[in-house]
Chain A
């Protein structure tokens, strides 16, 4: 966690400096408050980074989930798959894209018992169709627009 705090702290300081520059053109009252917040963020970031050099203070704030960075492979793959499915949905239709996403998640998550998973996915998509498309008139594309 030591290095995470340092990296995040420094990144936030750099970010705030860049945004400070950007806000230069804004009217005075419009940029005052964001700039106050940048100063506060930088102040806390310095504190956060500074604390990591104090031997006594614990770096604090352990994260959730597994500590080994290797556990993040599945979530990141799943996120990428979801993003791609979202991008694909404008070509192949929303529901097909979600079904493909569900299928792609099988190897990513290492699902073995397919029967329940497939059943749950179908129930989910039918429920989404019934609630959002039929009742709420949300224009989710049912089939590929090219067809």
Chain B
């Protein structure tokens, strides 16, 4: 039996970082909580190195087969850790010196750990536990600013999360009942012989938790409220990191535990994907708050991501497509949020008018990220979409690819609603006093994060060949 804890080095480093950070933060004076930030950054960097080293090793199952360390998990580790670093970067401006700085970093580390664990889980119970670890820190994060809307969002998020968590547990119980085990490896041979209806019920109940985690229809209602109500840094985290873990967990569950089952999960996921991308887009159309707009945009992006899951098992491209799209989506989405964090007083697209004159580089980064989210080459999301569409058509889901194309074109409209004012000049004189200050000062750290994300989005696109090859490793 393989119980080598070194295989989980990145995860352990995150735990260590969180514990040290929490202890240190309790004793440090408020003005010196930046030490905790350094601890968190160090934990992430060390974890990145460990994860990169792990990628070179062959896949292995550890702890009695409950946890799988393979290329998929390696990709998730790297993307999650890089995302946590970016979120820390874009949170510094808003949180430096605030009374809850330590808590923020610790909760970010724990939330990231939960996402990674979900992706590696090869056992229903571990999956549920990881789900809780990926959820509870986020409830606290959402309410961390203690504003009215933040508290409301946290309540909503918590209630939906608790309900889905319980549903998920019921699903795990049913599958355990009919399959005789909680391990994916044992479920795979057992489920095809089990009663079909019971398997279907168990699967759908399990999916409830995962769909909630990634913010897919029909469990998406919390996304816009949380993204709008929480602070921008938290919104960036909540709308990015759990999705990474959740989607990989979904992929692993469906391909490892249910490959031979006669429950047609591929069609189910395809329908969820279609509805998710369409409703997300429709919701985003007339939003007048850029963060709410981003919230709906993340829903539609999950729809595209689910296409890769729907194609899983039928197209060899599915897993590489999922990995590349997740990485691309993470950096690009965080870039857009970083711009929103850099200009905290600009809430509506109209507020961004004239931003290009004052902050030309920030405006350029925003344009790169938003066009990236549309899926314009040469940014990374384009290549992600390309491979995802290819996988979907390959898996016989051409209708889904066509729908995704239509949705992509529709999405241009609302992203442009944000881009267009950025590059318009402010009317000379007149209202310069009131709205001119809205885009006045840009936060240094958020700006840097936005630039990093934009550059990474383009570089990841150009180098998508080698990146795909990494994920495609057996």
**A and B are partners in one complex rather than unrelated chains:** no
